[in-house]
Structure 1
Amino acid sequence: MKNNKISLAEVARAAGVSKMTASRVIRDEGGFSEKTRHKVMAEVDRLGYLPNRLATVFAGDKKSTFVGVSIPELGNEIFAQLLEGIDRKLVAFAHQTVLGMTEHALDQEEAWIETVLSWQPAGLIVTGRSHSPRAMQLLKGAGIPIVEIWDFNSNPLDMCVGLNHFDSGYSMGRYLGELGYTKFGYVGTSHDTANAASSRLAGFTKAAEDAGGTVKKKLLLKDVPGFYTGLYGTEQLLAAHKDVDVIFYQNDNMAVGGYEYCRRQGLEIPRDIGIAGWGDLPIASIQPYRLTSIAVPHLRIGQIAAEMLLAQVNQQPIKRTRDVGFKLIPGSTCRMQLKPDIDETIDHSKT
């Protein structure tokens, strides 16, 4: 097992060289023979020495390879996919992710930003466009590349990649209105800090009203947006408003839960009620029906964010904002399309 308590001086002594020479070998700075390199690296392996990369950065001898990445939660597979896209790209270019989870709380994000900046990272990737005043001050004064992801902002602090969540919600509401639905319902989770979901709901509500319909019930649950939340949320919504003819869910997992509740109650979908999700999550691909949804390139957003940050680190020209768009997926969980030209996926991609 590697032992990070072994010191550089011990490595140098075991190899029969000076501490300075051992340091140059480990950092591959040159000025030593191949024989010396072999002796030093052999002792590094034998003793299990781990260089203090952070101390090296603080000493100003080397550029940091750390990139701070904050996401709200790992349990939500959308953010897990964003993180995977970021990490894959960073690792490919010898950078390491320093992860922080904010739980949708601005004060937690602020504390994480303050901590991670003290480690002198190469850059930061933060989720969302809303930050506390103190966090905004810290980010603006950081002097490093910063990428805001997920919720597109045409005027970011530094760089931004994401999608317009209001537009995605509006697109779904307009589509459902075109299918003849007039009594809409919504099932999601608390939007106190989940600004992207709140924006989607606002867009959906506006589209429903523009189509001459009404959102009969907006059910916001104090829970995580999962299968069971969708199931019992649908039960609550329909208990209060039996006349709702279509339900839009915060994400596909909730929509699948809602579908299951309706099926158990003997409701035929889409004859009796329509079901629409958001995100085009993996669960939708294994259902015996095609879920009406909005597809979002989660993994690609993460990859683009890392690419933008690395380009900035290397002082390469970069487009500072990227709207990746979305695709509306008509499915069998809503009524038959009234227009023949909307049978296929409707693409709102920007890139």
Structure 2
Amino acid sequence: MAEAAGVSKMTASRVLRNEGGFSEQTRERVLAEVARLGYLPNRLATVFSGDQKSTFIGVSIPDLGNEVFTHVLEGIDRKLCSFGHQTVLGMTQRAAGEEEKWIETVLAWQPAGLILTGRAHTNRSLQLLENAKIPVVEIWDLNSSPFDMCVGLNHFDSGYQMGRYLLTKGYTRFGYVGTSHDAANAAAARLNGFDRAIADGSASLKKQVLLKDVPGFYTGYYGIEQLLSGAPETEVVFFQNDNMAVGAIHFCESQKISVPRDLGIAGWGELPIASVLPYRLTTVQVNHLRIGQIASEKLLMRINGDSARKVTDVGFRLIEGETV
């Protein structure tokens, strides 16, 4: 590109970085060749040379199959892109070991900061983050003592509040359907809160069904079938998310089980799938997009040398629908 413009590589570099020391005619000639050749500067090499701050932000989420995290990621990407940053995405499958590998890899790209889903990290991951000396935001699970910063909600409390609400509706025999909690995660915290509320109300959690699958429509469909076959006396079922709850409602329709007359159903997350129902689903509302936006705002503040609150609780709201 420099040769085509008839200038030295150093002059072309100064033009691209707008450093000065060249004439307007030289600038126009270089930029014309940039446009003609479709030249793209090597930003990574520029960062490694120490000439410019990194524009990369590493973002880890469990997987793209969970709709919740696609909304969180959308909030992150919108905010970061508006300030000229690019996300480097990693999927950890909720495995601390996988997150550790990803952190080690992404730090080699010298990112400006990291956004990590969850609060459970290996000791080596924590050491890598400590040595990197870059801002880090943990999202999703509220953590009163984060590694650096945190944006999330109290999942235990959201499950507890749902349990208390269902008790006020007169239910005494409860069920739960979700996915496997092999590792500590937010869904496990919600179930623990739900279980505690039921116990505090002197009621019983008749059956839990934890499936080794993604928390989607079909998981809810066959999950409710398993639960009712093992505990037909169940009066109301709390689902890990709305996708599963809607799947369960469709199963009930296929079996002529009236919701909520014969069986109450509650979800979590207020996901878009619930809009296909002819009535409002009882659920917990969470602003997933806002979690991503706030996390990005905190990170950008720190990157720019400003202070930011260590912990931000985005909260939740119970939606009193027509399915219980």
Q: C-alpha offsets along residues 26-77 of structure 1, whole Å, 9 cap, x if unaligned?
A: 1112222221111111111222222110011011000001000011111211
Q: What is the DSSP-based 3-state SS (H/G/I as helix, E as strand, rest coil) of the residue aligned with 2:47?
A: helix
Q: Between 115-124 and 48-57, report the one with greater CA deviation.
A: 48-57
Instruction: Between the two structures, name the one with larger relative contact order (CA 8 Å, sep ≥ 6).
Output: 2
Say whether 1:174 aligns with 2:171: no
Say whether 1:223 aligns with 2:213: yes
Q: C-alpha offsets along residues 157-201 of structure 1, whole Å, 9 cap, x if unaligned?
A: 000000000000000001001111111100000111361000000
Match of 2:140 in 1: 150
Q: Distance in 2 between matches of 1:178 and 1:228?
A: 30
Unpaired runs of 5+ in structure 1? 1-10, 335-351
Q: What is the DSSP-based 3-state SS (H/G/I as helix, E as strand, rest coil) of the residue aligned with 1:150?
A: strand
Q: What are the equivalent positions in structure 2 for 1:63-212 lying under 5 Å apart?
A: 63-193=53-183, 195-212=185-202
Q: Distance in 2 between matches of 1:187 and 1:168?
A: 16
Say whether 1:237 aligns with 2:218: no
Say whether 1:38 aligns with 2:37: no
1:318 partner amino acid: A
Unpaired runs of 5+ in structure 2? none
Q: What is the DSSP-based 3-state SS (H/G/I as helix, E as strand, rest coil) of the residue aligned with 1:126?
A: strand
Give the aligned CA root-mean-square deviation in angstroms: 0.9
Q: What are the equivalent positions in structure 2 for 1:335-350 lying under 5 Å apart?
A: none
Q: Which of these residues, 279, 294, 302, is aligned with residue 304 of structure 1?
A: 294
Q: What is the DSSP-based 3-state SS (H/G/I as helix, E as strand, rest coil) of the residue aligned with 2:18?
A: coil
Q: What is the DSSP-based 3-state SS (H/G/I as helix, E as strand, rest coil) of the residue aligned with 2:279?
A: coil
Q: Distance in 1 between matches of 2:19 and 2:114?
A: 28
Q: Which of these residues, 12, 35, 43, is aligned with residue 22 of structure 1?
A: 12
Q: What is the DSSP-based 3-state SS (H/G/I as helix, E as strand, rest coil) of the residue aligned with 1:219?
A: strand
Q: Distance in 1 between matches of 2:122 and 2:307?
A: 30
Q: What is the DSSP-based 3-state SS (H/G/I as helix, E as strand, rest coil) of the residue aligned with 1:272?
A: coil
Q: Which of these residues, 262, 276, 280, is aligned with residue 272 of structure 1?
A: 262
Q: Distance in 1 between matches of 2:233 and 2:305?
A: 58
Q: Distance in 2 between matches of 1:287 and 1:33?
A: 65
Percent of pairs with identical residues: 67
Q: Distance in 2 between matches of 1:194 and 1:35?
A: 62
1:175 partner amino acid: Y
Q: C-alpha offsets along residues 220-256 of structure 1, whole Å, 9 cap, x if unaligned?
A: 0000101110010000000000000000000000000
Q: Which of these residues, 256, 278, 291, is aligned with residue 288 of structure 1?
A: 278
1:199 partner amino acid: A
**Deviation of residue 140 (structure 1)?**
2.0
2:95 partner amino acid: A
Q: Between 223-232 and 128-137, report the one with greater CA deviation.
A: 128-137
Q: Distance in 1 between matches of 2:170 and 2:36?
A: 73
The 1:77/1:194 distance shift into structure 2, 3 A limit, reads farther
Match of 2:43 in 1: 53
Match of 1:3 in 2: none
Q: Distance in 2 between matches of 1:107 and 1:45?
A: 45
Q: Distance in 2 between matches of 1:180 and 1:232?
A: 26
Moved over 4 A (4+): none
1:103 partner amino acid: Q
